[in-house]
Structure 1
Amino acid sequence: MTEFLETPSGRKIAYHRTEGTGVGVVFLGGFMSDMEGTKAVALEVWAKSQGRSFLRFDYSGHGQSSGEFQQGCIGDWAEDAQVAITQLTSGPQILVGSSMGGWISLLLTQRLPTDKIAGLIGIAAAPDFTEDSMFAGFSEDQLAELNSTGVVLLPSDYGAPYPITKRLIEDGRQNLVLRSPLPAPFPVRLLQGTQDTSVDRAVALKLLDHIDGDDLRLSFVKGADHSFSSPSCLTQIEAALSEVLSALEA
């Protein structure tokens, strides 16, 4: 059953929470995605089978949560995630971040108490994408449109175009994670498909080099796309979770 949490900013965040024991798992979705996606639901089933707590939720402006997508930005969504994890989970958690959720997970490793993060799994993680992918790729016409109207539409492989606002770009610059140290004193697993047309494999390699941690691995999956939602990809995610849990127990 969907429940709702009101944040200090007045946003209503929709979520599903599964009770369990031991280290918990939190799924953080991507840009314009929601908690009903294949990966989120599959991981919930996996967590239930393990008797492990699990949380999936919608950022504001996404899915069933309040607000309009076009009004949001990375800072808002990171705040939503921080409030949800703080108020809806107990004990250490493994963050599983997909695409933009990978960026937000990395931000949370800097903002949540150190004993709250037990591990991190990035699935086609897209740190700093508003700056390095979107803004860096704008044409002169798109830059002019962004400055005059405050929004530019970018094509999407998943349906309607993405409305990219000036606020999203400017706020993204305040939340970059690849320009400063990024310590990770916990197991980190990065998963990346070779057929991902949204996040280049160079991003995964850059993130691998940038994160400062003793237990950090990157796996490329040949033929996997950005959604990383095929049965074999889901098995890869579950295996990464099991690997992180085994490392923690060791």
Structure 2
Amino acid sequence: MSQYLTTGDGRRIAYRHLAGTGPGVVFLGGFKSDMTGTKAMYLQDWAQRTGRGFLRFDYSGHGDSSGSFEDGSIGDWAADARAVLESLTDGPQVLVGSSMGGWIGLLLARALPQRVAGLVTVAAAPDFTEHGYWAGFDQAQRDTLMRHGRLEVPSEYDDQPYVITRRLIEDGRERLVMNQPLRLPFPVRMLQGTADADVPMDWALRLLDHARGDDIRLTLVKGADHRFSTPECLSLITRSIEDVAG
């Protein structure tokens, strides 16, 4: 059964917390993903087997949490993650960010470096609202978005199209991490598939070049797609967690 945390902004965030040894692991899911996805559940099973503390949750507008997805933004979801981290964990944690969760993890690392023991990203998508969606829209799509405040785009992960809102784009511009110094003073392991059709491999290379820290490594997995959920890929995630956790 999920438990719930009400944030200072009044959002009701669903979560599952597994007690165990530290540093604990906090899983940060992707865009329109929830805490019952393949990677989250694999990490939960791994944490139970190894006695590691583990926390997974749904951003507002996702899964069992309150709110509408269309009303949300990167700033809202980063605030949800910060509330969960500060309210439900003690001491430095290992953040595991998948896709959008990689961006959220970088925002948390910038705001609360003292609470981060290590960072593992899986197909990290920092600044994707700007360099993915906005950059990929043609002028007619941009005009529709700005005029009507929303634009429907097809998704290969859902029968229904994703609704991209003007607020999502404009709020994302306030949260960019690739346009300013990015110091990561803890171990970082970035994982990226070469066959990822959603997050280009070049994004991972640019993040590696942009970030500053003494222990940052990128692993490219030939043939892995954006889901990064084969047994080999999932095992690589847990090995990376163990590597940064010490």
TM-score, normalised to structure 2's length? 0.98
Matching residue of 2:173: 173
Q: Give 1:209 deviation, angstroms.
A: 0.4
| Per-residue deviation, 1:176 | 0.1
Residue identity in the other structure for 2:126: P
Structure 2 unmatched runs, 5+: none
For 1:223, what is the secondary structure of its paired residue? coil
Question: Which amino acid in structure 1 is aligned with residue 156 of structure 2?
Answer: D
Residue 200 of structure 2 is matched in structure 1 by 200
Structure 2 residue 139 is the aligned partner of structure 1 residue 140: yes
SS of equivalent residue, structure 1 residue 53: strand
Q: How does 1:66-85 map to 2 (within 5 A)?
A: 66-85=66-85
1:127 aligns with 2:119: no
SS in 2 for 1:23: strand
Question: Residues 185 and 214 of structure 2 are in contact (CA less than 8 Å); yes or no, is this contact kept in structure 1?
Answer: yes
Q: Which amino acid aligns with 2:211?
A: I
> 1:221, 1:105 → 2: CA distance?
21
Q: Which amino acid aligns with 1:218?
A: L
- The CA distance in 1 between the partners of 2:143 and 2:240, in whole Å, is 43
Q: Aligned with 1:179: secondary structure?
A: coil
Partner residue in 2 for 1:226:
226
Structure 1 portions without partners, runs of 5+? none
Shift of 1:90: 1.0
Number of residue pairs matched by the alignment: 245
Secondary structure at 2:21 match in 1: coil
- The structural deviation recorded for 1:145 is 0.8
- State the alpha-carbon separation in 2 of the partners of residues 245 and 145 from structure 1: 46
Q: CA RMSD in A?
A: 0.8
Matches within 5 A, 1:152-163: 152-159=151-158, 160-163=160-163
- Provide the residue aligned with 1:24 in structure 2: 24
Structure 1 segments of 4+ aligned residues over 2 angstroms from their partners = none
| In 2: Cα distance, 1:181 partner to 1:154 partner | 32
2:214 equivalent to 1:214: yes
Contact 2:22 2:93 in 1 (8 A): no
CA displacement, residues 45-100 of structure 1 (integer Å, 9 cap, x when unaligned): 11121211100000000000000000000000000000001001111100000000
Deviation sequence 1:185-237 (CA, Å, 0-9, x none): 10000000111000000000000001101101001111111011111110110
SS of residue in 2 equivalent to 1:156: coil
How far apart are residue 245 of structure 1 and its match? 2.1
User: What is aligned with 1:4?
Assistant: 4
One-letter code of the match for 1:109?
A
The one-letter code matched in structure 1 to 2:44 is E
Could you tell me how far apart the structure 1 residues matched to 2:229 and 2:201 are?
17
How far apart in 2 are the matches of 1:71 and 1:39? Answer: 26
CA shift digits 1:119-145 (9 cap, x unpaired): 000100000000011101111110111
**Counterpart residue number, 2:47:** 47
1:140 partner letter: Q
Q: Counterparts of 1:222 and 1:73 in 2: how far apart (Å)?
A: 32
TM-score by length of 1: 0.96
Take 2:236 and 2:205, find their aligned partners in 1: how far apart are those partners? 18
